[in-house]
Amino acid sequence: MPVLPSVNIKPKTPIINESNQIVITCSGSGEPIPTVSWDTQYLTSPFNITSRDEGSTVDLIITSANASDSGWLTCSARSVAGKTSDTMLLRVNCKIYII
């Protein structure tokens, strides 16, 4: 019998400094195994997405974070049983320039 997918995001509320790299992992579970994806439409910095475990685990790698990337990111898991999403809050500290 199909089981509605669930998602788990780690880290859930990271705080990083501008131009740093971060890896955020989203894992999906359920029956059958769901396909997981990130909504990256609001990211302005370069990023990569890597998938493993037959698509049920996806890493979002922001290679050089910008303060404008701060905000909510959504990860979704989808299977024939349905779709589930969860959000996480990314905080990117601005660089301070001393004149």
Measured CA angle at 66 (ends 6, 88), to 5 deg:
20
Task: Answer for the pair 95, 46: CB distance below 8 angstroms, yes or no.
Answer: no
pLDDT at 72: 95
pTM of the model: 0.90
Tens digit of each residue's pLDDT (9 = 90 or more) over 71-88? 999 999 999 999 999 999
Both structure tokens of 20 = 């740093």
Q: Retrieve residue 87's tokens.
A: 């959000």
